[in-house]
Amino acid sequence: MKKKLTILLLFIAMHGYAQQRPQYTQYILNNYLLNPALSGIENYTDFKAGYRKQWAGINDAPQTTFAAVHWSLGDKYLWKNPLSLPEKSDDPRSDDYTQNYTASPAHHGVGAIVFYDKAGPLATLNANLTYAYHLQLSGTLNLSVGVAAGVKRVNLNVQDLVLENGNDPALKNTIIAQTKPDLALGVWLYGAQFFAGASVQQILPQRLAFTTDDVYNQGKEVPHAFVTAGYKLFIDDEISFIPSVMVKYVKPAPLSFDANVKVSFKDRFWVGGSYRHKDSYAAMAGFNFSKLVNLTYSYDLTTSELKNFSNGSHEIVLGLQLNNIYQTMRSMRMW
């Protein structure tokens, strides 16, 4: 459908402050994407790379490619904790491990996140470095605080625009690319069988406009707030059941609510599901090839009005657990 550039710029100015960050279905497996306080929470270098195609079947729908890596600093290991060196038979997801759990020592964690998000003529490249400090609150409880800081590059590809008037005067005032600072903060409380956290992305107020025309340059970036919590239950020593929830708020969009569940079988594979209120259902599955490599996939079935045009959303993530000292394949402490 042809659109005047002036209409596009006005839409960005009036509505550009709604959902501005990529949406992920598998964030429950990588909360680090949403909360920098998870930097260095595992006892290995946790690397993940993924691709998401949202609303397949709709031309120019959002597509996101990302890579994230984080690790702890230092070489401290305590018996029966996320940073400990277990015995060969010790499984960091087993019921016995959680019953004998002790909090990790106070330590630092660092990492980096890069993503490229494209929707229609708009493309964003974002790069952040992260830092977290993990404090030992008690014998079985840790609290971490984290920060992510970096830059983003936002581009408007005028060549992707189809105009009714090729000489639209707004085109002369178009800002093709702009670079802005980025900042996020987060906290994370965790123990042997539960986690809870909160984070805010895009804290720094920034104008988001693609023209110097005062009529159309009222767009701005707004903070994205996330609150997440989950708990791990054991059906038996080979099967764990993990429900979790997330609430997201991006003013002036309505409050968003996610409910998730994951069931893990032995040390090989898991299945799960997710529901996003008034938006979608999702099915997820993952397979651990070794203590180094795992692969996960999710499919979202759209339930909003877009269901008449979309074939759903696909997301695939490759995980690498580098320098993994655990002897079992299911070495991720919580999930």
Task: State how far the Cα of 185 lies from the Cα of 200, in Å rounded to an integer.
Answer: 6
Delineate the domains of the chain, giving CATH numbers in brackets. Answer: 5-322 (2.40.160.40)
Number of residues assigned to the chain: 335
CA dihedral 166, 172, 175, 176 (to 10 degrees): 50
Instruction: State residue 266's pLDDT score.
Output: 73
Cα-atom radius of gyration of the chain, to the nearest Å? Answer: 21
Beta strand extents in the chain (DSSP E only) = 45-53, 63-72, 107-119, 122-136, 142-156, 177-190, 194-201, 206-207, 220-221, 224-231, 233-236, 239-249, 256-265, 269-276, 280-288, 293-302, 313-322
Instruction: State residue 5's pLDDT score.
Output: 41
Instruction: State residue 91's pLDDT score.
Output: 55
Instruction: State residue 4's pLDDT score.
Output: 42
Q: Give me the helices (H) in 78-220, please.
A: 95-99
Instruction: State residue 84's pLDDT score.
Output: 60
DSSP bridge partners of 112: 69, 129
Task: State how far the Cα of 67 lies from the Cα of 32, in Å rounded to an integer.
Answer: 11
Instruction: State residue 308's pLDDT score.
Output: 77
Instruction: State residue 286's pLDDT score.
Output: 93
**Per-position pLDDT tens, the chain of length 335:** 333 444 444 344 333 445 578 889 998 889 999 999 999 998 889 999 999 998 887 877 889 999 999 999 977 665 456 666 555 545 555 566 677 788 888 999 999 999 999 988 889 999 999 999 999 998 889 999 999 999 999 888 777 666 666 666 656 667 678 899 999 999 999 998 899 999 999 999 887 777 666 666 667 788 999 999 999 888 887 788 899 999 999 988 889 999 999 998 876 889 999 999 888 899 999 998 888 899 999 999 988 877 778 788 999 999 999 887 765 655 555 55
Stated as kind and residue range, the H or E segment containing 9 is helix 5-15
Instruction: State residue 97's pLDDT score.
Output: 63
